[in-house]
Amino acid sequence: MKFTVAIDGPAAAGKGTIARAVADHFGFAHLDTGLLYRATGRKVLAGMDPVEAAESLTPDDLRAPDLRSAEVAAAASRVAAIPELRAALVDFQRRFARREGGAVLDGRDTGTVICPEAEAKLYVTASDEVRARRRYDELRASGAETTLDEVLADLRARDARDAGRDVAPMRPAADALLLDTTDLSIDAAVAEAVAHITKRIGQGRD
Contact set with ligand DC (CB under 6 A): 11, 33-34, 37-38, 73, 76-77, 80, 107-110, 158, 162
Min CB(204)–ligand DC separation in Å: 27
3-state secondary structure (DSSP) of residue 1: coil
Q: CA 26, CA 33: separation in Å to the nearest integer? A: 19
Q: Select 81 or 191, whichever has its Cβ closest to ligand DC.
A: 81
Min CB(101)–ligand DC separation in Å: 21
Q: CA 62, CA 149: separation in Å to the nearest integer? A: 29
Q: Select 77 or 181, whichever has its Cβ closest to ligand DC.
A: 77
Q: Select 148 or 201, whichever has its Cβ closest to ligand DC.
A: 148
Min CB(16)–ligand DC separation in Å: 7
Q: CA 98, CA 84: separation in Å to the nearest integer? A: 23
Min CB(74)–ligand DC separation in Å: 8
Q: Select 152 or 201, whichever has its Cβ closest to ligand DC.
A: 152
CA atoms within 13 A on the CB side of 182: 7
Q: CA 32, CA 22: separation in Å to the nearest integer? A: 13
Q: Is 177 left (phi over 0), alpha (psi -120 to 50) or beta?
A: beta
